[in-house]
Amino acid sequence: MTLLPQVRSQLHDAAGRRARSRIRGLSVFGRGAQRRGWHRTPLISLAVTLGLTGAAFASGVIQFGSPAPVSRVQLFTVPTTGEGALTPGTVRMLPVSTPDPAGGAPWGMREFTTSRGLGCVEVARVVDGKLVAVGQDDAFGNDGRYHELSVASGGAGFGDWCSALDRYHRLYINDMWGEQPASAWQSRCYAPGSPAGGHQQREPECPLKDERNLYFGLLGPDAKSVTYVLDGHRHTLATSGPEGAYLIVTHATAGQLLKGVGTGGVVPVDGPIRELHYRDGATCHLTSRSWIGGSYACTPSMQVPVGYVAPPSLSYTHAQVQTPVSAKLIRTPAGGYELRLAFRSRVALDNAQSGYDFAWYLPGTRNENHGDWRTESDIAADQPVSTTTCPLPTGEQIHGTISLFEPDETYKSKSEVVYAYKYEKLGELVGSFSVRVPGAPRPNDPEADHRMSPLTSCSAIEASERRFRALRRALGRAHPPRRRVERPGAG
C-alpha cells in the first residue's frame, strides 16, 4: 500500500496535465523504495508530489465522504452520569503522527475533558489535521473516502479512552487495542480466527494484513521517551509535547493473545514497551508484574504515574467517608427475602472514576465470589444512596461491605491483589453489615449465572434494562427503518 492510497487516482487526474512527466515519482512512496537510499531525482519527485498533495487538499480534490455517525454507545451526552459530557473548548489534536505499517494516512490522537473530571483520548487516522476513519474494511461501504470523526463518533477500539485528571488537570493514561481494522473505525469486520461469539452475526472477516495493534498513552511532562521491542529489535521513541504522548502502530499477528481487547494501567502493559525514560535520568523497567501497579509497576520501584498528583476529590480517607449502613430484609411476593442496603454519603462525588461499591457474599467467599453494585452518577454530600439485592438464599448469613473506590488506591496486601485481579480494589471502607436470612437452608450455587442469582443486584439489572431501552430508542431515532419502495408493475 502506498501513501494516501485512497486518493492516488485523484492526484493523477488533478496533476496529469501539469506534471505528466513526473507522475512516475509517485512510485517513490512504494514499500519497495522505502529502504533504498535517496537520490536527487526521487527527492525532486517527492517534493513535487507533496506539493501536489497539499494543493489537492487546498482545492478539495481529495474527497471526504460524509462525517462519521455518532457512536452507538452515545458517548459524552449526560453531564452527571457515566463519563459525563464533553467540556466545550477542550478538544485539541496532540502532536503525534505515527505511520501506518502499510502506508496511507498516519495515525494520531486528540485529547479533551469531560464534566465528570475525566481526560480522554481518541485514536484514528489523521488527514488535514483531522481525525478520520477510512472507507475500507467494510466501513462506510468501502467507499475509499475519509470520514471525519467527531468526539461523539469516537475513534478506534472502544471509541474513547479516559482516566481521571490530576490536580493540575493533566491526563495520565496508558492503553492498547488489539486487532483494530486499518479503517480506524469501530470494528465493522472481525479478525481471522475470532471465536463465533466475538463478533456480530453476518459481520465479514478482515484480512490479517488490515489488522493493527495500537499502543498509546500520555506519560506526562516528566517523560522523555519509551523503549519498545519488535521482532527482537529495540527502538526508542521520543514522547511528544508536554503531555508525554506516544503512539505505536503495528501489524497484528495471527494467533496473538489479545484479540480486539483493550487493556491499560498506570504504566504500559500487554505490549512491546519495555522501558520508560524520564527527564531526570530515571528509567522505569517494565516486568511481567507491572500490571499490578503500586510498587510492582516499575523496577526499581517508582511512584507512578510519575508527576501525577491526585485531586482532593479523589483523596478521601476512611475517617471522612465512614457512616452507619442500613441493611433491611424485604419479603417478596414469592415468600423469599431481598436485602435493601442504604446509607447517606458524607462527601460529594463528582468524578467518573469515583463512586460507591456495594458487595455482599456468603461466608468464606469474600475474595472468590460476591454480589456487587456500583454507583455511576454524581452524588451530593448527605444524599441517600441505596441498592436492593435479588432474592437471597434462605437460612444463610449474608455479609457485606460498602466502600468508596478511587483510581489512586494502592494495594495493601497480597490478598487485595488477588481480589482486585478478579474484581476491583477494596477502596476506603464506608461501613459493613451482616444479616441472617430467615428460613431453612437449601442447596445453592453461588456461581450460578442466572437472573435471580443471590449474587446479583436487582437494582443493577433494572438500571441496565433502562439504559438498554433508552439506547434502543435512540438508535431507532437515528436509524429509522427504510420504507419499502414498490417497483412499478410489481405485485
Query: Tell me: the pLDDT tens digits for 389-398?
Result: 888 888 889 9
Most confident among 42-46, 80-84, 233-237, 397-401 (mean pLDDT): 233-237
The predicted structure's pLDDT at residue 261: 54
The SS3 of residue 134 is: strand
Residue type, 290: S
User: For the ranges 32-36, 107-111, 306-310, 434-438, which has the lowest average pLDDT?
Assistant: 32-36
Q: Identify the band that residue 457 occupies on the pLDDT scale cut at 50, 70 and 90.
A: low
Strand-pairing partners, residue 98, are: 107
Sheet arrangement for strand 428-436? 371-374, 355-361, 397-405, 428-436
Higher-pLDDT residue of 410 and 443 is: 443
Against a cut of 0.85, is the pTM above it?
no
Question: Cα angle vertex 437, ends 434, 441, to 5°?
Answer: 120
Mean pLDDT of 176-199: 77
Does the structure show a pLDDT above 80 at 32?
A: no
Higher-pLDDT residue of 101 and 368 is: 101
Q: Identify the band that residue 264 occupies on the pLDDT scale cut at 50, 70 and 90.
A: low
Q: What is the sign of the dihedral through the CA atoms of 251, 254, 258 and 261?
A: positive
Most confident among 160-169, 244-253, 450-459 (mean pLDDT): 244-253
The predicted structure's pLDDT at residue 363: 73
The predicted structure's pLDDT at residue 484: 47
For the chain, the domains span 5-59, 92-309, 314-441+451-474
User: For the ranges 71-85, 300-314, 417-431, which has the lowest average pLDDT?
Assistant: 417-431
Half-sphere exposure of 272 (CA within 13 A, CB side): 24
Nearest to 251 by CA among 56, 1, 454, 52: 1
| Residue in the block written with cell 481471522 | 192
Distance, in Å, from the CA atom of 159 to the CA atom of 375, rounded to the nearest integer, reads: 23
The predicted structure's pLDDT at residue 237: 97
Does the structure show a pLDDT above 50 at 419?
A: no
The predicted structure's pLDDT at residue 333: 87
Cell of 381: 454530600
Distance, in Å, from the CA atom of 263 to the CA atom of 260, rounded to the nearest integer, reads: 10
Largest CA distance in the chain: 92
Distance, in Å, from the CA atom of 381 to the CA atom of 400, rounded to the nearest integer, reads: 23
Q: Identify the band that residue 126 occupies on the pLDDT scale cut at 50, 70 and 90.
A: very high
Q: Strand 326-331 vs strand 161-164: parallel, antiparallel, or unpaired?
A: unpaired
The CATH H-level (homologous superfamily) assignment of domain 314-441+451-474 is Immunoglobulins (2.60.40.10)
Q: Containing H/E element for 15?
A: helix 8-19
Q: How far apart are the first and last CA of the chain?
A: 49
CB 259 within 8 Å of CB 285: no
User: For the ranges 27-41, 295-309, 369-383, which has the lowest average pLDDT?
Assistant: 27-41
The predicted structure's pLDDT at residue 266: 82
Nearest to 316 by CA among 353, 342, 370, 267: 353
- Torsion, Cα 143 149 154 157, to 10 degrees, reads 40
Residue type, 393: P
Nearest to 7 by CA among 68, 66, 49, 70: 49
Mean pLDDT of 166-179: 90
Question: Cα angle vertex 221, ends 220, 225, to 5°?
Answer: 80
CB 251 within 8 Å of CB 178: no
40-59 and 8-19 helices, crossing angle to 10°: 110
User: For the ranges 176-185, 187-196, 242-251, 265-274, which has the lowest average pLDDT?
Assistant: 187-196
In terms of C-beta distances under 8 Å and separation of at least 24 residues, what long-range contacts does 228-234 make, across chains too? 228/271, 228/272, 228/273, 228/274, 229/272, 229/274, 230/272, 234/274
User: For the ranges 85-94, 212-221, 332-341, 361-370, which has the lowest average pLDDT?
Assistant: 361-370
Does the structure show a pLDDT above 60 at 312?
A: yes
Percent of the chain with pLDDT over 70: 67
Does the structure show a pLDDT above 50 at 15?
A: no
Question: Cα angle vertex 220, ends 218, 222, to 5°?
Answer: 140
Summarised one tens digit per residue, pLDDT across range 342-357 is 999 999 999 888 899 9
In terms of C-beta distances under 8 Å and separation of at least 24 residues, what long-range contacts does 43-49 make, across chains too? 48/19, 48/22, 49/11, 49/22, 49/25
Cα distances from 416 to residues 399, 413, 420, 461, in angstroms, run: 18, 5, 6, 27
Distance, in Å, from the CA atom of 97 to the CA atom of 99, rounded to the nearest integer, reads: 7
